[in-house]
Every structure is written in structure tokens, then in C-alpha cells.
Amino acid sequence: MTADLARFSINQMTVKQLSLPELVTACTDLGVPGVGLWREPVQQYGVAAAAGLVRDAGLTVTTLCRGGFLTAIDPAERAAALADNRAAVDEAVTLGTDTLVLVSGGLPAGSKDLQGARERIADALAELAPYAGERGVRLAIEPLHPMFAADRCVVSTLTQALDLAERFPAEQVGVAVDTYHIWWDDQAPAQVARAGAGGRIHTFQLADWTTPLPAGVLNGRGQIGDGSVDMREWRERVDAVGYAGRPIEVEIFNEELWARDGVEVLRETAERFVRYAV
Amino acid sequence: MTADLARFSINQMTVKQLSLPELVTACTDLGVPGVGLWREPVQQYGVAAAAGLVRDAGLTVTTLCRGGFLTAIDPAERAAALADNRAAVDEAVTLGTDTLVLVSGGLPAGSKDLQGARERIADALAELAPYAGERGVRLAIEPLHPMFAADRCVVSTLTQALDLAERFPAEQVGVAVDTYHIWWDDQAPAQVARAGAGGRIHTFQLADWTTPLPAGVLNGRGQIGDGSVDMREWRERVDAVGYAGRPIEVEIFNEELWARDGVEVLRETAERFVRYAV
């Protein structure tokens, strides 16, 4: 591993064309020290087996993605979501990561009540946060770009994420700072400082903003350096408020990257990380 | 005209399949009292001729769309943009409207400096605002949804738009409040109040938020009532801070609406306006 990659973590979704063993081998070969894992491929491989594979390779699991989807009004749906999130916490424990990323959920069908949905997230966190904290897992509320507010995540800004997180102890609930979602927001730098001061930056993730966006907009994130985000400026910003030395995940959803050789994409991503963020 | 339509204005882009004479006839037939016009089709028809057509039909031109694109770094590009905006002010005067909507512009090619772009907008407004004010035209800075920050408008929130507008007298510069762009923002209600208190709500526009977004995202606005936005709540919000009785434009960019009969779409839009917003 080169010193420049010391903080680099590849989020599994960036190279989802790689199986978990392929990903682990590629990380070892390329000197990548960290991985962010996703529940679905990990469950498919077997959570305990995945944990062993990653541990034996000496990789750090920087986060598990993702819990959340906590906006349901229907009591049965809400109970199912809470149970699923407790399972996600347990999986995080098995995988040896201290951070579970939460995508909070969008508006229930037919609802136009953003504020009500945000309050239901707070209610759900009141049940989940102690459960996570007792197991040494921190929940990281990820504000998603406002274009996802209706259908994916009613928490759209770092301000809102912190307003939720600060109702709970920092060792239970913090935030995910992802450049893709917050780069446009002139209030985000001050909120990064607020998060850092409170010890609530539980993960820092990079993706670039490129246009035009594809249909559905979910898989339009750009490779580091291809877009409008000044990665180094954001890295320096989180480092200045207490994040220095901690892992930085690159998490990109992009059909073009997925269509290429996964090892080649991982190598390119590591190079871009060094060139634009270190 | 029914009383329910007294404040209704159809933005020309919503039914762009209609020629200007067709639009004017349809408005007369359906009892629609106001239109928001766009420069390109008006120029194509002839500005003076368009002004006469609309005036003879007794229609109010609620806004002209659009000026702006003020973020250029290159001096020649900047000068061209300023000249074009002065021409837009002149066209607004000819058309008899008091409001020119501004879409401020995105990042210049290769730039990642959002704050610099926002400052260049302020510099350009310092030249344009007096020119407009002397001619009885108010500039309305429209915050566009953050998903347009890179390529269309670096002014993403009502807060930012007001921060720019308040550098100038309210009779020169205010804001456009468009539900499509700000519905997700929990700070927007307070900013609507700020805008109203300062006499800076220069236009109020409606479009609904529907998903999934189409490729390029520009033409994915929803018909009133089809999406996640509580139109009546927003209408009551602007009315409560001084906008009561003033025109409300419906401005929708939507390929499916454009593929239909324009008069039918106008009728539907008027009905939706009454059902969801009045």
C-alpha cells in the first residue's frame, strides 16, 4: 500500500461487477486498505463468510450500506423497517465495522408531508440508536441530494441530517458527508464544521457531479475528477474539523463504470483519489 | 372568466405546441386572463406584433422568461450576456410586463467555483438592475433546483436568491418563487416570508414534482396534482406574506404534455389549478 492510499476505501457499489472474493483480491493486489460493503451482496455471500474473507485479507470495513427507509406510516411497514435495521446493525457487528449508513426514505405513496416524514425518522431513530450504540455501531444519517427527496430520502441537507442526529448521542448517531449530495449547498461547509465539532462525521464519501443526468438520476454519479466537485477542498474541509487520518470512501453509481472491467475501474478510482483528493 | 381563474396565468412553455395566436385564442375561449411569455417564440412572431396580439385580447403578460446566464468569466461572453439581458428588458417593456425572470447560469466549462459564479451574478446585476428599474421592469432571480447547479443555475435556494436580490432595491430585483424548485427545502417557508416582507416576490409559479425524472431532468416537471407538492399550502404561504390577489403562473416542462393537444392541456391545467391551488 502506498501512503497516498492509506485512507482510501472503495465502496463495493462502485465496482459491483466484482464478486466479493474478486473485490478482496483486487484490493489486496492494488494496495487498497478499506472497503465499504453493501448488505445485499454480503447477504448473498453469507455475512459470516464475508466477514472472514475480508478480515483474513486484512481489509478494514469502513461502512455497511445501508439501513434506513424509516418513513412508513403503516404500523406493520414501520415494524418491518425497524426489524430490518436491527438486522443491519447485527450484520455490521459481524462484519467488524463501526458505521451503518442510513438512507432515511422518501414520502409514503400519496403523502406530501415532508415534515411528517422527517419526524417519523426521528421516532424510529429513538428505537434504533440505543440498539446500535449498545453494539458499538454508529448510525450515519446520509443527506441525499434534494432530487431524491420524494422517492428516496426526505433528508436533503447536512443541516437536516444534523438536526436529526443531534437528538441522540454522537456515539449513536452522526452523519454521512458525501460530496455528491451536498456539493451545491453553500451552507454545507458550516454544517461540516458543526458535524466535526460534535464528533458526528461518521463517514466521508466521494463522488463527482456530472451532467447530463441519466433517466431516473440514480446511476449518474461521476468518477472522481470528471465533474464539478472540488474534491480536495471538501477533503481539507472535513480534515480541518477532526476527520484527518480517517477513511475516505469512494462511492459511485455509474452504468458506464459498471460496464467496464472491475479491477481496471478500481485501479482508475484509486488513481483519481490520489490525484484529486489526497 | 370564472372567479377561480382570476389569478391564473399560463406560462407559454407549458403548452409550447400552441402558436402564439393559438395560445391567445385558447386563453380567450377558456377564460384564462394571464400569460407568461418566452423570448424565443415571441421574437419569432415579432415582439411588437406579439405585444399587440396579447394586448388586443385583453391578456395580462405576467412575466417574460427569461434573462440571466450571467456567470461567464470571459469578458466578451460577459458583455454579450449583459447586452442580451438589456434586450430582454426592452422586450419586457414592449410586451407590457413588469417582470423579467432570470435563470442565473451554471458553472463555466472547467470551473468548480460556485461561489465565484454567484459573485459574478451579483456584479452583472449591478449593471442590469438600474437599467431595468429605469424602465419599470423588475428582475426576478429564480432559484433553480440544486440538480441544475452545475449546468444551468448556481442559485439553488430561495435563501441564495434573496441574498443576491437584497443587494438592490426591491423595485429593481426580487425573486421568482417556483414550487418545483423549492418544495423540498425546509428553509424555504421562512425565506418566502423574508421575500414577502421585503416586497420581493416578483412572481409565483407552480409545477409539481414527479418521479422518475427523465434523462437530462429538464422536462420532467409534473402537471399540478400529479406529484409530491402541496400546491395550496404554498399558495397560502405566499398569500400570507403579501402576494394575495396577484397572478400565479403554471410553468411545466413535460414531454407528455407537449405531445398532447395544446388546448386540451390548457383546459386541464386550468382545472388542476382550481382544484389544487385556489
The grid coordinates of residue B24 equal: 391567445
pLDDT score for A15: 98
ipTM of the complex: 0.96
SS3 A248: strand
Residues in chain B within 8 Å Cβ distance of A228: 107, 111-112, 149-150
Question: Within chain B, where are the H helices?
Answer: 20-30, 39-45, 47-56, 75-95, 114-134, 158-165, 179-182, 188-197, 231-238, 255-258, 262-276
Low-confidence ranges of chain B (pLDDT < 50): none
pLDDT score for B1: 56
Mark residue B96 as left, alpha or beta (left: phi above 0; alpha: psi -120 to 50; beta: remaining).
Answer: left
The grid coordinates of residue A184 equal: 451545491
CB contact under 8 A, B150 and A212: no
Question: Within B135-211, where are the H helices?
Answer: 158-165, 179-182, 188-197
Low-confidence ranges of chain A (pLDDT < 50): none
Residues in chain A within 8 Å Cβ distance of B156: 184-185
Mark residue A136 as left, alpha or beta (left: phi above 0; alpha: psi -120 to 50; beta: remaining).
Answer: left
Alpha-carbon gap, residue B251 to B205, rounded angstroms? 6
Among A154, A209, A235, the strongest candidate for a mutation testing the B interface, having the largest count of B CBs within 10 A, is: A209
CB-nearest to A216 from B159, B184, B212 is B212
pLDDT score for A54: 98
Write out pLDDT tens, residues B86-137: 999 999 999 999 999 999 999 999 999 999 999 999 999 999 999 999 999 9
SS3 A167: coil
pLDDT score for B44: 98
Q: Which residues contact B134 (CB under 8 A, 6 or more apart)?
A: none
Q: Which residues pair with A227 in a beta bridge?
A: none
Q: What would be the CATH architecture of the domain defined by A3-276?
A: Alpha-Beta Barrel (3.20)
Among B148, B156, B191, B217, the strongest candidate for a mutation testing the A interface, having the largest count of A CBs within 10 A, is: B217
Write out pLDDT tens, residues A228-264: 999 999 999 999 999 999 999 999 999 999 999 999 9
pTM above the 0.95 mark? yes
CATH fold of the domain at B34-244: TIM Barrel (3.20.20)
CB contact under 8 A, B212 and A211: no
Alpha-carbon gap, residue A155 to A185, rounded angstroms? 14
- Minimum Cα–Cα distance from B109: chain A residue: A228
CB pairs under 8 A between A and B: 88
Q: Which residues contact A257 (CB under 8 A, 6 or more apart)?
A: A14, A15, A223, A265
Q: HSE of B52 in the Cβ direction (CA atoms, 13 Å)? A: 5
SS3 A97: coil
Q: Which of B67, B153, B139, B45 is nearest to B107 (CA)?
A: B153
Write out pLDDT tens, residues B215-238: 999 999 999 999 999 999 999 999
SS3 A44: helix
pLDDT score for A2: 76
Alpha-carbon gap, residue A244 to B221, rounded angstroms? 42
CB contact under 8 A, B146 and A185: yes
Shortest CA gap B245–chain A (Å): 25
CB-nearest to A211 from B111, B151, B183 is B151
pLDDT score for B3: 84
- Minimum Cα–Cα distance from A180: chain B residue: B147
Among B154, B156, B181, B211, the strongest candidate for a mutation testing the A interface, having the largest count of A CBs within 10 A, is: B211
Burial (CB < 10 A; 0-12, 13-18, 19+), residue B134, is: exposed
pLDDT score for A244: 97
